[in-house]
Structure 1
């Protein structure tokens, strides 16, 4: 006899109750056909109980006991949204208990720490996916299809722009923008999404010349500005600019220039400008939501969660694996190294 719909639902624990947690709870609420939120783990579970308002199903248990959640047979996977500073120990407990892990970016504070997280999951035989939800936005999917068709020809030039604004209050949160908690500033916390999406379309970067800085507009330890020239394995060159000091806040864009035309995408739109004069605009998900640049839309997180659950059911890799996410970490590390030394940095392919 086949499993009932209820039996096919995957039990989920949400580990962490910070700013992004309500986006995940809303996403899990919308994904109730395939997922059941069983528990939310927080150091202060009484403070996290407001999250139940964002979940339309039976309220989850709120607890600080990670070991008990790891031992719970009704939970098959965990979504980990803790600060990067505590990732390794949290994931080690969950992976040893056989829980599959879907992880908020970044994988770790450094490339070495990220690799350690990947290897913990590989040794335990559990699947590790990373929440790079920008890949599942409609413009990104359409761009990937255009590129895969070959109709645009060879890629020659790449522009990655992340022109964001964060008020000082964003960095006044304990530890935000520090190396000890976050592993860095604008690159690893904010721009890593655009980096991942761009590299998924272009292939890897093999060389970097860069500069990073903290502007006078923020009081913080790590960088709020980064700029780099890039050399790609495919032969293209490009630029990367990211900041949280660019007021007013604007959306990230990726522009790819090919032999036959150029693609420009933001979160809502893909624009294709052909060399023969044609211009095509493909709409995405509609108007922005107030505060979206801080909390995000839950539909994209929902899509990643549903992809991950489908991967569990069908024995395949999720859309972004932990090991694949290391490519973005290595680029960020190369930009930091180039800025620190003043020299160009080669990234082994």
Structure 2
């Protein structure tokens, strides 16, 4: 890339004007190295959103892909089951960088197809697991990578809140569907991606689905057991049908539509990570360990409490767009590649299979394998 081209802002088209698209648009508008090329969505309300953003409106993907000039990159924020066909159309039209909101696909086969098409056309897929840019998670990863907690043994996580009935109505009716909707693909996938980002690949899951209260086909939650390639073990509680402060959104305050919870005394904690020399809770980022000294330290000794600093002024969506610019202009490797996004989707599929079958599921690459008889 020439210096003149490198100095020019990249143009980013957004496909999808639902909950996430406008948030991405604001981050693009705040970045001097990016411009908002257009907004594409057939829904009537999208015209008003495009007008409010002072950008070009397209009512269909063919309209976008026949425009001139084409955008440098496309950001796909549409219903889950449309991610892969839209991404493939963009790549085949000549767009070399595509950021796909999570999940990258709704099936392993579709995800593999997308990665194959991207490789064939020398295109780069990024997956919108923006929470990897969240300051609380950045600080937690730094803490883990430093080794100060010793050998990591276990993790305990929870994501629980109550979604409104309107979330599943109108243009959101696809969220009722057991294949493309459900709390596993919509929400748990974020958590599984973060846990793999922090602790490495998940190789085994076992899960029990919780009772349904809405009457939809899509699952509402469950209890999950995890094993990681490193030997770390964990548990996770999941529900989108209960009032609760114990979720990423309320704990970090990242989503402006969900009130932030006062984290005093761990009220907003959603992860506890346990190591041989100490443990931390997230997002309050409190480390518990023993004072360094002579002799063995154990349960009869007083624990020391340390608070880890975090820059709460960082906006994850802004950081994700900043990173996208770096990938396009500087050739940096994606922080969340298509392969990593598909890995999280594979674990989600394993969780769903475990919920339906009651069996322990092993994950071998992109394959999920039942390993035990049904649980009692």
Normalised-by-shorter TM-score class: 0.7 to 0.9
Relative to structure 1, the CA distance from residue 156 to residue 69 in structure 2 (aligned partners, 3 Å threshold; closer, same or farther) is same
In the alignment, does 2:337 pair up with 1:337? no
Instruction: Report what 2:372 is aligned to.
Output: none
1:111 is matched with which residue: 103, 108, 111? 108
Instruction: Report what 2:17 is aligned to.
Output: 17
Give runs of aligned pairs for residues 25-174 of structure 1, distance below 5 A. Answer: 25-31=25-31, 33-44=32-43, 46-52=44-50, 55=53, 59-71=54-66, 72-99=68-95, 100-172=97-169, 173-174=172-173
CA distance in 1, matches of 2:120, 2:227: 34
In the alignment, does 2:219 pair up with 1:223? yes
Provide Cα deviations, 1:63-116, integer angstroms capped at 9, x if missing partner: 124234224335110000011222222111100122110111111112222222
TM-score, normalised to structure 2, is: 0.81
Q: Secondary structure at the match of 1:306?
A: helix
The answer on whether the counterparts of 2:224 and 2:351 sit within 8 Å (CA) in structure 1 is yes
Provide Cα deviations, 1:237-268, integer angstroms capped at 9, x if missing partner: 110111101214542322210111112113xx
CA distance in 2, matches of 1:304, 1:330: 23
Instruction: Report what 1:292 is aligned to.
Output: none
Q: Secondary structure at the match of 2:315?
A: helix
The answer on whether the counterparts of 1:139 and 1:283 sit within 8 Å (CA) in structure 2 is no
The answer on whether the counterparts of 1:129 and 1:318 sit within 8 Å (CA) in structure 2 is yes
In the alignment, does 2:239 pair up with 1:213? no
CA distance in 1, matches of 2:290, 2:348: 33
TM-score, normalised to structure 1, is: 0.87
Q: Secondary structure at the match of 2:13?
A: strand
CA distance in 2, matches of 1:327, 1:84: 16
Runs of at least 4 residues off by over 4 Å:
283-287
Q: Secondary structure at the match of 2:350?
A: helix
Q: Secondary structure at the match of 1:272?
A: strand
In the alignment, does 2:177 pair up with 1:191? no
Relative to structure 1, the CA distance from residue 279 to residue 50 in structure 2 (aligned partners, 3 Å threshold; closer, same or farther) is farther
The answer on whether the counterparts of 1:25 and 1:54 sit within 8 Å (CA) in structure 2 is no
Question: 1:187 Cα shift?
Answer: 1.2
The answer on whether the counterparts of 2:135 and 2:312 sit within 8 Å (CA) in structure 1 is no
The answer on whether the counterparts of 1:214 and 1:222 sit within 8 Å (CA) in structure 2 is no
Q: Secondary structure at the match of 2:19?
A: coil
In the alignment, does 2:287 pair up with 1:272? yes
The answer on whether the counterparts of 1:10 and 1:36 sit within 8 Å (CA) in structure 2 is yes
Structure 1 segments unaligned to the other structure (5+ residues): 288-297
Question: 1:11 Cα shift?
Answer: 0.7
